Amino acid sequence: MSLITNTEDFLEQTGKISRFAGHFFSHGIKPRFEIKELLSQCYLIGYKSFPLVGLTGFIMGLVLTMQLRPSLVSYGVQSELPVMVGIAIVREIGPVITALIFAGKIGSSIGAELGSMKVTEQIDAMEVSGTNPYKYLVATRVVATTLMLPILTLLGDAISLFGAYIGVNISSVTSLRFFFTQVFQSLTYSDIVPAVIKTLFFGFAVGIIGCYKGFNSTKGTQGVGISANSAVVLSSVLIFIIDLLTVQLTNLIGLN
Amino acid sequence: MAKQGENNIKLGLFVLAGLLVLMVAFYMIGKNRNIFGSDFELKARFSSLNGLMEGNNVLFSGIQAGTVKSIEMVNDTTIEVTLQIDSKVKSFIHKNALAAIGTEGLMGNKVVNIQPVKAASFSVSNGDMLTAQKLISTEEMLQTLSKTNNNIASISEALKATVLRLDSSAIFDILNDKTIGPSLKSSLGNINKASKNASDMTMGLNELVTQIKQGKGAAGLLLTDTAFAGNLKQAITKLKSASDNANKLTLQANMIMTSVNHDMNDGHGTLHALLKDSLIARKISISLDNVMKGTDGFNQNMEALKHNFFFKGYFKDLEKKKQANKALPVQ
């Protein structure tokens, strides 16, 4: 009985999210645009997240290099370390780690912000005052996350590669120039372009889930916490699902 | 509102930084793939690509010079590869350069190596076809190696058997014997001496031969003097005639002897009487007895004469003369 309820719940949730996302495309990206709100959201979502993403990216690059080194040494190919780390960071680690951090920071904040606005009936008030709350609150945030995550990912990748450079230099010596030559020697557009495109979807997923959960939070202040929490969990899971779909799709196209 | 503007500037910086990273990344990859900058095309036809793919690097004398642009099957044994080459190296690649498919490192990606040939030639132009050089693939190399390994295995087997046989044979004892060294050394010394002697001898012989050639010595005369040969021939002829005469003489002597023999046997002549007649021998013996008796008588007569006073003086004088001769030694 509970399984059926759960399944029904799950399907209902999926349908509602899909409808919510469809509403974004049908109503959200139509004039008039809330440019000012969008820019301030971009600032909050993108710029303010940069230190966190930079720090995690740097540590990730450093740790990944140090972790990969012993196994490469055992094969006698430690000189290929920059190549391997570069591909790993640009293709997978950079986008996914950045997106997960982003989901943790931004997904929860959007969920909590919109949730508290919903429970305190600010959204209803906004609607009454003639402002389209969907456009003003949801569309700006979703567009901001969609556009900011790729930029955060690119910067995070760069910092991560610098961390990897330091990681390589801990146990051997290489010049920064040679390190980046080696990294880019092995990279192709088919490594970078899908990675950038998928972060657009990651950002969209984080924004849309955060907004949905916030917009649909109930049960007072308790519900705010629930919506913030579930926004993070669901968007993280969605990030992995989208990642899987992307890699299958790029394989299908033959870009891999 | 001022806060908002400041935030927007920060946001702008952030976005630009992100886009800059993207552009740099695109440029770095594009530089490696020769997408930016001017370039030209070269072509080469191979029978097998060994896994070469579009986008693989092209090296000219080991320097990154471009990428593989396209791969096209011409027929079942020919594959045409179009190479996109940086125009910076255009003036250095000549028309007779060789294109070969190689590997980056031992296990790395495939590359096309363009190697210059020393012979003079014009620089390439866009779309030129380069001569392909067939390189030995790793598989072929391994196959050859496998053959070599088999050969080495059989050779080592045979060597092992030989060594085992050697180990048990007398040669090994000889090799092991430490006294052989010095004795071999002394033998060699002897051989050295002998060869020295032989050399001396040869030199002597050489000298002799030279002398003979020059006609010195008996042999030289014999071998070189033509007049001597004539003389010798004459002498031999004379010897021959002498021996002929001797032969005749012998024949005559033979005839004489035959006749003598005949006479002797038939009982004619003095010889026969002397040699064969026993009667005569006795007669001679008797005659000789009588002669002896006669001589004895004569002796007695002579003794008697000595003592006869008519003749005594004569004999005494004779005696005196004899003694005087003995006393006076001959001067």
Alpha-carbon distance B16 to nearest alpha carbon in chain A (angstroms) = 9
What residues are paired with B128 via a beta bridge? B42
Q: Which residues 190-209 of chain A have a CB within 8 Å of chain B?
A: 192, 196
In a domain, B296, yes or no: yes
> Based on the structure, what is the number of domains in chain B?
2
Tell me the pLDDT band of A161, cut-offs 50, 70 and 90. very high
Between A and B, how many residue pairs show a Cβ–Cβ distance under 8 A? 62
Report the b/e string of A166-195 with b at 16+ CB within 10 A: ebbeeeeeeeeeebbebbbbbbeebbbebb
| Residue of A47, A159, A179, A187 to mutate when probing chain B, most B C-beta within 10 A | A47
In A89-219, alpha helices (H)? 94-102, 108-119, 122-128, 133, 140-171, 176-186, 189-215
| Residue of A37, A185, A193, A197 to mutate when probing chain B, most B C-beta within 10 A | A185
Quote the pLDDT of residue A200. Answer: 94
How many angstroms separate the CA atoms of A163 and A146, rounded?
A: 26
Tell me the ipTM for this assembly. 0.79
pLDDT averages per 10-residue partition of chain B, 331 residues: 75 88 85 69 85 82 84 88 84 86 76 85 83 74 90 94 82 76 87 91 87 74 74 88 90 86 72 72 87 89 79 81 75 50
The count of other CB atoms within 10 Å of the CB of residue B85 is 23
Tell me the pLDDT band of A207, cut-offs 50, 70 and 90. very high
* Backbone torsions φ then ψ of B60, nearest 5 degrees: -115, 115
Quote the pLDDT of residue B153. Answer: 94
A71-80, A126-135, A189-198, B262-271: lowest mean pLDDT where? B262-271
Q: Scanning every residue of chain A, which has its alpha carbon at the shortest distance from the alpha carbon of B4?
A: A40
pLDDT at A204 over 80: yes
In a domain, B73, yes or no: yes
Quote the pLDDT of residue B37. Answer: 66
pLDDT at A215 over 80: yes
In a domain, B11, yes or no: no
pLDDT tens by residue, A36-76: 888 888 888 888 899 999 999 999 999 999 999 999 889 88
Which of B76, B102, B135 lies at the terminal end of a domain, its last residue?
B135
In a domain, B94, yes or no: yes
Tokens of B69: 């642009």
In a domain, B172, yes or no: no
| Residue B29 sits at the chain A interface (C-beta within 8 Å) | yes
Quote the pLDDT of residue A33. Answer: 78
Whether B14 sits inside 8 A of A192 (CB atoms) is: no
| Residue A55 sits at the chain B interface (C-beta within 8 Å) | no
Residues of B within 8 A of A189 (CB-CB) are: 26, 29, 33
The count of other CB atoms within 10 Å of the CB of residue B172 is 13
In a domain, B222, yes or no: no
Burial category of A152 from C-beta neighbours within 10 Å (exposed 0-12, middle 13-18, buried 19 and up): buried
Quote the pLDDT of residue A106. Answer: 93
Q: Scanning every residue of chain B, which has its alpha carbon at the shortest distance from the alpha carbon of A152?
A: B18
Q: Scanning every residue of chain B, which has its alpha carbon at the shortest distance from the alpha carbon of A37?
A: B4
Residue range of the domain that includes B68: 24-135
Average pLDDT across chain A, whole number: 89
- How many C-alpha atoms does A129 have within 13 Å on its Cβ side? 9
Query: Residue A139 has what DSSP assignment?
Result: I
Residues of B within 8 A of A256 (CB-CB) are: none
pLDDT at A162 over 80: yes
In a domain, B61, yes or no: yes
Find how far residue A253's CA is from the centre of its chain.
Answer: 23
Whether A151 sits inside 8 A of B18 (CB atoms) is: yes
Q: Scanning every residue of chain A, which has its alpha carbon at the shortest distance from the alpha carbon of B22?
A: A154
Tokens of A214: 């916030």
Which helix (H) or strand (E) element contains residue B131?
A: strand B128-133
What is the largest distance, in Å, between two alpha-carbon atoms of chain A?
69
Whether A46 sits inside 8 A of B26 (CB atoms) is: no
Which of B80, B105, B135 lies at the terminal end of a domain, its last residue?
B135
Q: At what angle do helices A189-215 and A108-119 cross, to 10 degrees?
A: 20
Which of B106, B135, B164 lies at the terminal end of a domain, its last residue?
B135
Nearest in space to A17 (alpha carbons), one of A204, A248, A147, A246: A204
Alpha-carbon distance B151 to nearest alpha carbon in chain A (angstroms) = 32
In a domain, B72, yes or no: yes
How many angstroms separate the CA atoms of A57 and B32, rounded?
A: 26
3-state secondary structure of A103: helix
Quote the pLDDT of residue B179. Answer: 81
How many angstroms separate the CA atoms of A129 and A131, rounded?
A: 6
3-state secondary structure of A129: coil
Alpha-carbon distance A39 to nearest alpha carbon in chain B (angstroms) = 7
Amino acid in position A11:
L
